[in-house]
């Protein structure tokens, strides 16, 4: 059954929705894992907490500013027309001020209490998301790949917060998130392509009917995810418990994309989306289990 979008019932709820809680939560988890792996555990809980608070504020601010930037598109789509700005719960100027304040406060916290590079990574995530990815959604289907870059930076920020430097190993976490995002967002774009078409968003499933290029992108990126996901075990960051868990999860993720080749349908897109939503927390869970064992 298709979920019917709901308007926020309170002003607090509307401002909370502006922060894009689900995306912010994912950013916090990936930042925390970057910190955990980079520091080989958590020894300075004050530093860890400030890293998460600063990252949360920057992510929340970017989310609010994205609502402001995409007001016109959100008004056109059924799935977004009840968001705080299109519904009139919050004025656009207030959303922009809220977003700028959160972004600057979060960046300042990271700069003052953590280190300069962590603050730069957090701010660059927001800027790439707002000024590169968001406008490209109306220009080219490559927006998905370009948008995956800011979506993959948070674990780098966590790693740098713990170590003070950007080690080569941290880029493996970046690559895992980068390749994971493609099947995830192509599945969403297929499920809501009629909405995206109304808003003139150049998502690949909107631009083609047969799904051939979309399916190639899904299989290609999920295939590349398999060796990348097990690489932490090869270089000694994690052990064999993680290796086998990551291998099984990644092969399963790729397999979830194959039904779309046979039947390019909403049901199969939904199956892929559900698999992608399961994959990432399960993979993160394998990291924790491996460390504990």
CATH 1.10.357.140 segments of the chain = 8-166
The C-alpha atoms of residue 145 and residue 78 are separated, in whole angstroms, by 25
Class of the CATH-defined domain 168-293: mainly alpha
0.85 exceeded by pTM: yes
Q: Which residue has the tokens 């869970």?
A: 285
In the prediction, which pLDDT does 9 show?
Answer: 76
Pick from 47, 22, 53, 23: nearest CA to 35 = 47
Pick from 119, 13, 112, 144: nearest CA to 58 = 119
Two structure tokens written together for 35: 């910190």
CATH 1.20.120 segments of the chain = 168-293
In the prediction, which pLDDT does 5 show?
Answer: 61
Q: Which residue has the tokens 């870059």?
A: 149
For the stretch 236-287, pLDDT in tens is 999 999 999 999 999 999 999 999 999 999 999 999 999 999 999 999 999 9
Class of the CATH-defined domain 8-166: mainly alpha
For residues 85 and 92, is the Cβ–Cβ distance under 8 A? yes
The C-alpha atoms of residue 282 and residue 106 are separated, in whole angstroms, by 29
In the prediction, which pLDDT does 1 show?
Answer: 42
For residues 113 and 107, is the Cβ–Cβ distance under 8 A? no
For the stretch 101-137, pLDDT in tens is 999 999 999 999 999 999 999 999 999 999 999 999 9
């Amino acid at each position: 059954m298709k979920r019917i979008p709901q308007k926020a019932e309170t002003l607090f709820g509307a401002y909370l929705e502006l922060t894009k809680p689900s995306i912010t939560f994912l950013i916090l988890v990936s930042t925390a894992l970057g910190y955990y792996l980079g520091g080989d555990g958590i020894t300075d809980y004050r530093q860890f907490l400030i890293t998460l608070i600063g990252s949360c504020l920057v992510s929340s601010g970017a989310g609010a500013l994205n609502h402001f930037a995409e007001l016109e598109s959100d008004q056109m789509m059924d799935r977004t027309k009840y968001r705080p700005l299109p519904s009139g719960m919050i004025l656009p100027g207030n959303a922009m001020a809220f977003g700028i304040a959160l972004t600057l406060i979060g960046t300042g916290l990271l700069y003052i209490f953590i280190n300069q590079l962590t603050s730069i990574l957090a701010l660059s995530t927001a800027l790439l998301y707002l000024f590169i990815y968001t406008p490209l959604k109306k220009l080219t289907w490559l927006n998905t790949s370009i948008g995956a870059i800011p979506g993959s930076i948070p674990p780098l920020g966590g790693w740098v917060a713990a170590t003070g430097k950007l080690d080569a190993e941290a880029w493996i976490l970046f690559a895992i998130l980068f390749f994971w995002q493609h099947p995830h967002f192509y599945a969403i774009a297929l499920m809501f392509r009629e909405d995206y078409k109304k808003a003139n968003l150049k998502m690949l499933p909107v631009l083609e009917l047969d799904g051939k290029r979309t399916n190639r992108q899904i299989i290609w990126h999920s295939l590349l995810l398999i060796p990348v996901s097990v690489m932490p075990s090869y270089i000694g960051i994690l052990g064999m418990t993680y290796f086998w868990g990551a291998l099984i999860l990644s092969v399963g993720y790729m397999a979830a994309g194959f039904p779309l080749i046979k039947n390019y349908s909403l049901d199969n897109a939904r199956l892929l989306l559900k698999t992608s939503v399961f994959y990432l927390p399960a993979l993160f869970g394998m990291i924790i289990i491996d460390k504990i064992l």
